[in-house]
Amino acid sequence: MKIKLSEDKYMNITKLKVQRVIFYVLSITMAAVVCTQSIPSGRAAISKLDSKLQDIYFDKRNVMVYVGDTFEEKPISVPKNTKVSYTWELLDDGILTVDNGSIVAVNEGETTVGVSAGDFYAEIDVSVKYKPLPPNSSLPPVYYENLMIANYRNQLPSDYVPEDLIQIPAEYVAANYSTLYVGKETFDKYKELLRAMQSDLGTNNMHILSAYRSYARQSELYNNAVQGYIAQGKSSTEARALALNTTQTPGNSEHQLGTTIDVSNDYNTDHNFNQTPEGAWLAENAHKYGFIIRYPADKEELTRIEYEPWHIRYVGIYHATYMYVNNVCLEEYIDLQGEAAEAANAYAETHPASYD
């Protein structure tokens, strides 16, 4: 993978004998000019400053960042007050990636970042790690950083209510829908996501169909589904089994967490949402704002929920980015004992995949 490499830059790299040809390159013009001397205005002045450059270097050999962090280390120029246009060079190893002109850590590992300016080159080793869990903790990581799970095998208590619920302003909710609630952090990030989507696509037709659902509300949805099948002449056992195909039992819906939002651009939830501009944008970009497509098409055997391109779940940017880059669903991500697949298979023997 290579990011637009102009001929000039290619020449520079060849000249610099950069061995690793799979570097990809990102230009960042650093506008900082220090004002300790009076700088004459105009082009001539700038090229005069450029020509003064004698070297660039990093003041350390290596740096450690966490997955989700932005890499911010900048080289030092000699002389220090020179205006320099830097070209960054990353290895195509999936550890660091480029997002909006910034270098973002997306995967654990060791890598090298190179930077060139004119005839000068410097590099720094970068080590990327996951943020450590709080010390002396006996809880597994599933309880931290918004990774709490509610699914067919992890039932939330009936009195579980998220602490930071807020009412969603009506302008974000589908017209004529009742008042909806969601966790504050989740909503703040959703607003950021929405602004970015609107600016990229130039559209303004996304709305929320569902967000937080209380245990009582989920009971009501499930019981309504059961009653519907009983009204069609099914026995109560049959009706309960059929209701499970489309609805979660109370405590087993992720919507009780307050970190989940169902969105739509046409008031429907359907599988083709991912083929609309909004759905496609969401699939490619949601992780940048900390959201995952919680029930991907190719993970139905593990989630036991049908593909839902409209159902996004907030987990925080570094977990979301990891899951996106590595194509793992939440069940796989928190599956420290490797038993998620086994449990899902056992459940699948008696239950078809459902919806949430």
CA distance 188 to 211: 14
Closest approach, Cβ 264 to Zn ion, in A, equals: 11
- Residue placing its CB nearer to Zn ion in the complex, 49 or 150: 150
Query: Does the protein bind Zn ion through residue 319 (CB under 5 A)?
Result: no
Binding track, positions 65-94, relative to Zn ion; x by CB under 5 A: ------------------------------
Can residue 282 be called a binding residue for Zn ion (CB under 5 A)? no
Cα 91 to Cα 60, 283, 324: the distances in Å are: 19, 25, 19
- Write down the residue that tokens 């004119």 correspond to: 118
Per-residue mark of binding to Zn ion, 141-170 (x: CB under 5 A): ------------------------------
Cα–Cα distance between 221 and 223 in angstroms, integer? 6
- Span interacting with Zn ion, options 52-60, 85-93, 136-144, 258-266, rule CB under 5 A: 258-266
The beta strand positions in the chain, using DSSP E, are: 23-29, 55-57, 62-66, 70-71, 76-78, 85-91, 96-99, 102-105, 109-117, 120-129, 165-167, 181-183, 207-210, 260-264, 291-295, 308-314
Q: Closest distance between Zn ion and the C-beta of residue 289, in Å?
A: 18
Q: Please pick, from the candidates 311, 312, 321, 344, the single residue that binds Zn ion as defined by CB under 5 A.
A: 311
Taking CB positions, which residue lies at the least distance from Zn ion? 311
Q: Which residues contact 122 (CB under 8 A, 6 or more apart)?
A: 56, 57, 58, 75, 114, 115, 116
Token pair in block for residue 193: 């996501």
Contact 1, 79 (CB under 8 A): no
Question: Does 294 contact Zn ion by CB under 5 A?
Answer: no
3-state secondary structure of 128: strand
300 lies in the binding site for Zn ion (CB under 5 A): no
Q: 217 or 234, CB closer to Zn ion?
A: 217
The least distance separating Zn ion from the CB of residue 259, rounded to whole angstroms, comes to 11
Judged by CB under 5 A, the stretch of 90-98, 129-137, 214-222, 310-318 that binds Zn ion is: 310-318
Among 89, 262, 278, 335, binds Zn ion (CB under 5 A): 262
Least Å from the CB of residue 210 to Zn ion:
6
Determine the interface stretch with Zn ion among 32-40, 273-281, 295-303, 307-315 (rule: CB under 5 A).
307-315
First to last CA, the chain: 37
Burial of 180 (0-12, 13-18, 19+ CB in 10 A): buried
**Binding residues for Zn ion (CB under 5 A):** 262, 311, 356
